[in-house]
A and B are shown apart, each in its own frame.
Chain A
Amino acid sequence: MAQAAPVQKDFKDCRNAWAATLEALAGEDERIVAVVNDSIGSSKLGGFAKAYPDRTVNVGIAEQVMVGVGAGLANGGKVPFVSAAACFLTARALEQIKADVAYSGYNVKLVGQSSGIAYGELGATHHSIEDLAWLRQLGQITVIVPADAWETEQAVRWAARHEGPVFIRVSRMPVPDLDISDRSFQPGRAEIVRAGDDIAVIACGTTVHLAAAAADMLSDEGISARVLNMATVNPLDEAAVSDAAATGAIVTVEEAHVRGGLGGAVAEWTAANHPVRVSRMGFDGFRQTGSIAHLFGAAGLSPEGIAAEARRTIQTG
Chain B
Amino acid sequence: MTDRSNTLATIRDNALWMRRRSFEMVHRARLGHPGGDFSATDIVATLFFGVLRYDPKQPDKPDRDRFVMSKGHATGVIYTALCRAGYFPEDWLETYMGPDSRLSGHPNRLYVPGVEANTGPLGHGLPIATGIAIAGQIDGADYRTFVLTGDGELQEGSNWEAAMTAAHRRLSRLTVIVDRNRLQQGQGTEETSALDPLPEKWRAFGWDTVEVDGHDHAELARVLGAEPTDRPRCVIANTVKGKGVSFMENQANWHHGVPDDDQFAQAMEELV
* A and B from one complex: yes
Binding site for B on A (CB under 8 A): 33, 54-55, 57, 59-60, 62, 64-65, 67-78, 80, 95-96, 99-100, 103-105
Picked from A64, A76, A96, A105, the residue with its CB within 8 Å of the CB of B136 is A76
Over the window 122-165 of chain B, the binary record of Cβ atoms lying under 8 Å from chain A Cβ atoms (1 yes, 0 no) is 01101111111111101101000000000000000110011011
- Take A77-B62, A77-B135 as given contacts and tell me if A104 and B117 are in contact as well, using a CB distance cutoff of 8 Å: yes
* Interface SS of B by simple majority: helix
* Interface SS of A by simple majority: helix
> Which residues of A sit under 8 angstroms from B180, Cβ to Cβ?
none
- In the complex, what distance in Å separates the CA atom of A104 from the CA atom of B165? 22
> Which residues of B sit under 8 angstroms from A99, Cβ to Cβ?
118-121, 124
Report the interface size for chain B: residues with CB under 8 A from the other chain.
33
CB distance from A77 to the nearest CB of B (A): 6
Contact of B119 with A65 in the complex, beta carbons under 8 Å:
no
- 24 inter-chain pairs at a CB distance below 8 angstroms, sorted by A residue, are A59-B165, A60-B164, A64-B161, A65-B127, A65-B158, A65-B162, A68-B126, A69-B128, A70-B131, A71-B131, A72-B129, A72-B132, A73-B131, A73-B132, A74-B131, A76-B134, A95-B124, A96-B127, A96-B158, A100-B117, A100-B118, A104-B109, A104-B118, A105-B109
Contact of B131 with A76 in the complex, beta carbons under 8 Å:
yes
Q: Which 4 A-B pairs have the closest CB atoms?
A: A72-B131, A76-B135, A68-B127, A69-B131
- Take A68-B162, A72-B133, A73-B131 as given contacts and tell me if A54 and B66 are in contact as well, using a CB distance cutoff of 8 Å: no
CB distance from A63 to the nearest CB of B (A): 8
Which residue on chain A has the smallest CB distance to residue B132? A72
Binding site for A on B (CB under 8 A): 62, 66, 108-110, 116-121, 123-124, 126-136, 138-139, 141, 157-158, 161-162, 164-165
Contact of A78 with B162 in the complex, beta carbons under 8 Å:
no
- In the complex, what distance in Å separates the CA atom of A67 from the CA atom of B124? 10
Which residue on chain A has the smallest CB distance to residue B138? A54
> Which residues of B sit under 8 angstroms from A65, Cβ to Cβ?
127, 130, 158, 161-162, 164-165
